[in-house]
Structures are given as structure tokens and as C-alpha cells.
Structure 1
């Protein structure tokens, strides 16, 4: 499985997850084997646009073979775009990319519902 995670920086598994998926300067792609619970590879790609129209980021993720997007927060419309393209969405994650992927592989993350994500830290600063 190829996981796409919006990131603040270009440090691979040490990258910090961006609080606003739509304004992330990078996406870190992590290839994992869910059965073996292993990370197979990591690639960080700079988002090629600063502003975007609805659907641009799902297309960007699809072009890079993303199958799951793990993000801090995401609106319903954006989730619908991803789902339409066959990309699953898991929200409510924060911290370092590597820590979140490790938690997923260990079965510690399966469904997170974060109702108050818009009031957290960097999201407020970006709006």
C-alpha cells in the first residue's frame, strides 16, 4: 500500500505532518506491506502548485499512486474527491510521519474521528 501524508518539510519519516492538507508544501509517500507490517520505501514530493482548485490534490496523489491519505483534518468535499478516485482517507493524525505510519502498522490507528480539528494549532494560523 502507498500512503500519502501532507508534510511541512522534506525529511522523509522525520517530516512533520502539515495541519492543513491543502496547504502542505510536500507530500511524503510511504510504501508499506500491511501483512508484514514493514515500511518498504519513502519518497517526499514537493507539491507543484501553491494554490489549487478542488480536485487538484486528489489528482496529484493519484498521479503518484497514493492509495490512502493520512491527514490531520479534511473537509467532506475533499474526502469525496479522494474517495471518488479510489483513495481512502484517514484523518485526525498529527506528529511525525514515521510515528503515524508505525502506529498504523501496529494496529493502533484504525479509525479516528476528530471533531474539533479546525481549532488546533497551525490550522488557525493558515486561515
Structure 2
């Protein structure tokens, strides 16, 4: 399984589309085997779900994400977890352990990234 976390440095980004990049975790048998950072190629409508699908990502974790993006990820067979906060490594470990669940929140405040977690 491949998990992508929208990130700002080591922290989960408040909004996936404007994040610095994605930390891609290759998880096997409940343990993270390796991770790599992929720079965000840019926020273009409908592009990032296809971009991450081409990287064989199965799950995207972010602080916030718009409804259209969530739907596009689902259409590409990528599970979406939103409402995550904290250090990316810790968030992935929480997901693997079954402790991280999506809040299902929809980001609507694109002018103010800091509000996307609300």
C-alpha cells in the first residue's frame, strides 16, 4: 500500500492542493518500509488525483481538501482521509494502527489555508 501525506516540512498540510509536497510511504504488512518526498507539481484542477494515481498511491492524508478533489480521488480509487494534523510519520503510524479516521470535512476557504482544518 502506498500512502501520500500532503506535507509542509514534517507536518501535515492544512490543504492538500497548496502543500509543499507529498511524503509517499510504501507500507507493507503494517509497517512503513520507505518514504520519499515528491514536490507538489502545482495546483491545477483535477491534476493531483491523477498524478498521485500514476504513483500508485492508494490513500491520501491531508488536513483539508475540497469536495471536488475528494470526489476525484475516490473516482481514481484513492481513499481520502481529511482532518489530520501533526507530524506526518506519527499520522501514518496512527492510520496503520487503526487510530486515524477521516473527519469527512470539506475545505471551502481556499483564500485562508489555516482555516482548512476547521
TM-score by length of 2: 0.84
Q: Secondary structure at the match of 1:7?
A: strand
Structure 1 runs not aligned, ≥5 long: 10-14
- Which residue of structure 1 aligns with residue 5 of structure 2? 5
Match of 1:113 in 2: 103
CA RMSD of aligned residues (A): 2.2
- Equivalent residues in 2 for 1:1-127 (5 A)? 1-9=1-9, 15-33=10-28, 36-49=29-42, 52-109=43-100, 111-113=101-103, 115=105, 122-124=113-115
Bigger radius of gyration: 1
Name the structure where helix makes up a greater proportion of residues: 1
- Structure 2: tracts of 5 or more residues without a match: none
TM-score, structure 1 as length reference: 0.79
Q: Is the 8 A contact 2:67 2:106 kept in 1?
A: no
Q: Which runs of 4+ in 1 moved over 4 A?
A: 114-119
Secondary structure at the aligned position of 2:17 is classed as helix
